[in-house]
Amino acid sequence: MASIDVEHVLSRMTDREKLSLLAGINFWHTRPIPKYGMRSLRLSDGPNGARGTRFFNSVPASCLPCGTALGATFDEGLLYEAGRLMAKEAKAKGAHVILGPTINIEDPVVAGTIVASSINGMQSLKVFSALKHFVCNDQEHERNKVNTVVAERALREIYLLSFQIAIRELRPKVIMTSYNKINGVHVAEDKKFLQDILRSEWKWNGLIVSDWFGTYSTSESINAGLDLEMPGPTRWRGEAAFVAATTDKLYPNAIDDRVRALLNLINEYEGSNVPNNAPEITIESPETSSLLRRLASESIVLMKNSLGVLPLRKDKRTLVIGPNASVAAYCGGGSAALRASYTITPLNAIRNKVSEEVAFTIGAQSHRELPDLGTLLLPTLYASEKGVTFKAYNEPPEIENRKELDTLKFKTANMMFMDYNNPELKDFWYTDIEGYC
């Protein structure tokens, strides 16, 4: 597809067409307008692997160590390779933008430098990062309304510096705003951060996207510099923005600037070779496994080994203690959640390397909530691997011979139904989760 003549297209578009572009069309895609040559861009979580467009029964992906671990490698070259892997994973999921990496209040020089290397790797393969969360995203509790009160010096020397370094070194194409307020104003509608600092002071000219459901206004956010509301369908733009435009609450040049940022981003992707609505696949190779292992091992710091416990020896009896030893706790939740293409528990990994005779005791439970029962069950009576069977119906359990819409097997009972879909599924439906001891 040929590049868009941005200024020519802007001069031809109606206000409604322009405003329609300022929010996603669905959870993961921007709105296309084919008559102007505008294709839809696909965005994907996340910070430690490309999940793709589904939470429920997602296509497996490589799971990288979390950002804190990657920072602990202090290895810019290794992080460049990690970025290239992220780009390959994104293309396997048909994504043009990875929503990450994430930086926060770790050492700002280390964070900014390491993140720049990762972004460099991604963008070398024409997949672009959405650096997040800009800025002062310091807590999850009430994150949509928390007010972070911070002095200008601390803001500059701690919170903004890591972003400034990454932007200075690599010019990431997308920045994601944080949910919170800073000194009384939501970042997503604060001109100081979006226009004065990012665009005027730092001379950055990419696209600013909200965190998911992190847009809180119509005129204020657009005038302040927030280009794209995600996800769609819109809650704050669309018809509300059109009314604001007709009553002069929206500045015409602000609308054009928001659209211009998106069109410029679309032009950036012409060399990515990622088709629209591409199918999602899993890519695995010995090279990928080797890189993931190296990323994990280089992030570990051995603080003490005074009794020579490590490395473990096959001629010694070994006891493993702890609730996380028998669980493959490989990623976080929310945007960091994904279905890893390969997992192994620490206990099984130790047994594979040392001996099947390695003993285990849980020591103490550490669950804040009920543990995942699915990891202890079998999906069918004579199955060889742990898990559960998921079945979906439109009828309640008391109906005889009800029709199964889907029968799927999972290794865990921890699943999100928010994007589960079946063509026959009604608005009100039922599921059975079955497992056997």
Token match 């369908």: residue? 233
d(CA 348, CA 14): 61
Burial-class residue 114 by CB neighbours within 10 Å (0-12, 13-18, 19+): buried
Token match 């069109």: residue? 263
By DSSP bridging, strand 43-45 and strand 388-393 are: unpaired
Token match 């911070």: residue? 150
Residue 174, token pair as written in the block: 């997308």
HSE-up (13 A, CA, CB side) for residue 307: 2
Beta pairing partners, 131: 175
d(CA 207, CA 173): 6
- Separation in Å, CA 215 to CA 41, 109, 188: 19, 30, 6
Beta pairing partners, 359: 319
Alpha-helix runs per DSSP H in 269-299: 286-298
Residue 424, token pair as written in the block: 């026959």
Token match 């602000």: residue? 254
> Residue 212 carries which side chain, given as an amino acid letter?
W
HSE-up (13 A, CA, CB side) for residue 174: 31
Vertex 406 angle, CA 416 and 283, to 5°:
65
Contact 46, 335 (CB under 8 A): yes
d(CA 410, CA 22): 37
- Separation in Å, CA 249 to CA 197, 224, 427: 23, 12, 38
Q: What share of the chain is helix, strand, coil (3-state, %, to 5)?
A: 35, 15, 50
* Catalytic residue flag (residue 432): no
**Which of 45, 75, 190, 211 is labelled catalytic?**
211
Residue 341: which of 55, 51, 62 has the closest Cα? 62
Residue 277: which of 87, 23, 44, 41 has the closest Cα? 41
The edge-to-edge listing of strands for the beta sheet with 388-393 is 406-410, 388-393, 430-434
Indicate which residues carry an active-site annotation. Answer: 211
